[in-house]
Amino acid sequence: MLGCLVAVYLNNILGRRLALIVTALISITGVLIEMTSAIGPKPQYDQFVAGKTIASLSMGLAANIVPLYLSETSTAAARGFGINMYQNVQIIGYIVASASVYATTTATASSSLAFGGNDKLGYLIPMGLQLLAPTLMLICTPFLPESPRWLVWKGRPEDEAIAAAHRLFGTNTNTFDAREYVATIQVMVDMDREREASAPGWADLLLHRPTLRRTAIAAGIQCLQQAQGSGYMVAYIFSFLTAAGVRDVFPIMMGLNIVYYLAVLSGHVLPDRFGRRPILLLTAAACGVGPVLIAILAIAVVPSTAASEDMAVLAIFLWYVFFGIQSPLVWITTAEAAPSRNREKVQAVAVFLGFGVSLLVAFVSPFIQDPGYGNLGAKIGFIWGTFSWATALWVFFTVPEMRGLSLEQLDYLYENRVATRKFKDYDFTGFDLRNPPPLFDPEYGHQGGHGQGGGGGGGHHHDNREHVQLTDRSQGGCSDDDVGDQDADLDSRHSSDKNQASVRMHSL
């Protein structure tokens, strides 16, 4: 969790690439401290904890730096594919760690792994494997281009951003114009700097309503993912399976990990093909079924039978499938919800709160489940199922469809408070984002039209009515549904005037 807060400043000051290098160095340092705690006749527990703490700091850094970098260096059409690389590698590491721990636990003091009469290699090998990922990251990161958006935001020479953008998106077969791409980013950055003056720093997350909305979306999806029991399934899946009556647990656990990874791979295809909202809604609703079914079996079938055990295992496998499909969407949504001028802060707050809920779940679950305390046993599934269905409701009412929209287009829609269910229908064809027709003034004191210069020719609202509606909204008197009706009319105005725009907005 501390890594989330540190990442804000590393991301902002050092940039994405150098922040990744620092993250790798911190991880390597922590792992080496862990491993050297075994040197000597007696392991140094305090040193091991210190090393683990440092290594965990790098995990928090990576969770904030990597998704942002991937989102900023991917095209809009393939942003889901890019961001899912973070989840992909993460699950590979988890499977390797689980397999290595299982393999080394079979070693005894008399085996070939024994060292000095103590089976030190039994835990040095799993710890040492942690060096693989940060070492690769340390070697490869210097060859990566910096994020053009970060370069523009920090006021670096324009040629640096153009060169980075061309490396990322330019090919011999496309017509990508890196200079125009950077110019579009520059316009949005300049607009953001003007708005930032009214609520600088962390206060902007609360005082600026579009940013508050985006923070709530990012933090909500992170927290609800953990509240569905993902941390519990990782830390206490053994207890859960045992409580459900399953006897041979470890082969099932490894099977679950592999199934989960295969499901996560769908994040490279499904989000960019079918969108974010439909998959989040479907998987959240489906994830609620498995835990509740297991809880019902625990009540209805006592003692458990072979059939009930098989049913419980099947339900858990299905949960892993749907949750694996959902997991990439959580990171994709978080990165896309973060606004340009507060990307580091919003990402950090969301991940920090998500980690906090995960910690709470891991701490409270034993007391809820174990005999002598809550004694729920497998009936704890009622809790996770309920939160899964709550996630579906949260997504339906708050998370817009962000597939195929550039980060600058998302900034425009959020800044102008387009309603949740209107994002996917917004037409940016022929839209000049460098001279956008504002729906709402950043200070909320004036509403412009969708014609050039805000004149609003061809619109369906009269100016006085527009001003009244804006006043209601700035005072919190207008619901999202009301906003949607208003924005639908404004969208119509945009469609009628879109031919006046002179430059077509790039989809990057």
Class for the domain spanning 208-404: mainly alpha
**What does the pLDDT average to over 305-315?**
83
Does the structure show a pLDDT above 50 at 309?
yes
pLDDT of residue 263: 93
Q: How far from 22 is each of 42, 57, 149, 322, CA to CA, in Å? A: 32, 11, 20, 35
Residue 306 burial (10 A CB sphere; 0-12, 13-18, 19+): exposed
Highest mean pLDDT among 10-19, 123-132, 455-464: 10-19
DSSP β-bridge partners for residue 118 = 115
d(CA 163, CA 150): 13
SS (H, E, C) 349-416: HHHHHHHHHHHHHHHHHHHHHCCCCCCCHHHHHHHHHHHHHHHHHHHHHHCCCCCCCCHHHHHHHHHC
CB 398 within 8 A of CB 420: yes
d(CA 363, CA 38): 28
Does the structure show a pLDDT above 80 at 237?
no
pLDDT of residue 454: 34
Q: What is the pTM of this model?
A: 0.77
Amino acid at site 219 = A
Task: List every span in the chain annotated with CATH 1.20.1250.20.
Answer: 1-147, 208-404
Beta strands in 239-371 (DSSP E): none
Place of tokens 């037409």: 427
pLDDT of residue 443: 40
Half-sphere exposure of 136 (CA within 13 A, CB side): 5
Fold of 1-147: Growth Hormone; Chain: A; (1.20.1250)
Residue 115, classed as helix, strand or coil, is: strand
Amino acid at site 108 = T
DSSP β-bridge partners for residue 115 = 118
Q: How confident is the model at residue 444 (pLDDT cuts 50, 70, 90)?
A: very low
Residue positions counted in the chain: 508
Please, what's the largest Cα pairwise distance for the chain? 87
Among 131-140, 218-227, 451-460, the minimum mean pLDDT is found in 451-460
Q: How confident is the model at residue 66 (pLDDT cuts 50, 70, 90)?
A: very high
Among 40-44, 244-248, 324-328, 443-447, the minimum mean pLDDT is found in 443-447
Whose CA is closest to 435, among 465, 407, 459, 455? 455
Contacts with 492 (C-beta within 8 Å, 6 or more apart), sequence order: 460
pLDDT of residue 270: 94
Q: How confident is the model at residue 438 (pLDDT cuts 50, 70, 90)?
A: low
Amino acid at site 172 = N
Amino acid at site 11 = N
Please state whether the peptide bond connecting residue 303 to the residue before it is cis, i.e. omega within 30 degrees of 0.
Answer: yes
pLDDT of residue 436: 63
Q: What is the pLDDT of residues 8-56, one digit of tens each?
A: 888 889 999 999 999 999 999 999 999 898 887 788 889 999 999 999 9
d(CA 106, CA 476): 62
Q: What is the pLDDT of residues 279-298, one digit of tens each?
A: 999 999 999 998 899 889 88
d(CA 235, CA 225): 15
Q: What is the pLDDT of residues 95-126, one digit of tens each?
A: 888 788 777 776 544 454 444 445 677 778 88
Is the dihedral angle over the CA atoms 357, 285, 85, 136 positive or is it negative?
A: positive
Share of the chain above pLDDT 70, in %: 79
Does the structure show a pLDDT above 90 at 387?
yes
Tally Cβ neighbours within 10 Å of residue 111.
Answer: 12
pLDDT of residue 29: 95
Q: How far is CA 159 from the centre of its chain?
A: 31
Q: What is the mean pLDDT of the chain?
A: 79
Is the dihedral angle over the CA atoms 364, 366, 369, 375 positive or is it negative?
A: negative
pLDDT of residue 199: 58
d(CA 103, CA 157): 53
Q: How confident is the model at residue 433 (pLDDT cuts 50, 70, 90)?
A: low
Among 126-135, 146-155, 478-487, 498-507, the minimum mean pLDDT is found in 498-507
**What does the pLDDT average to over 192-214?**
79
Q: Which H or E run includes 447?
A: none
pLDDT of residue 492: 42
pLDDT of residue 505: 41
Contacts with 21 (C-beta within 8 Å, 6 or more apart), sequence order: 137, 138, 141, 142
Q: What is the pLDDT of residues 366-379, one digit of tens each?
A: 888 777 777 787 78
**What does the pLDDT average to over 445-465?**
35
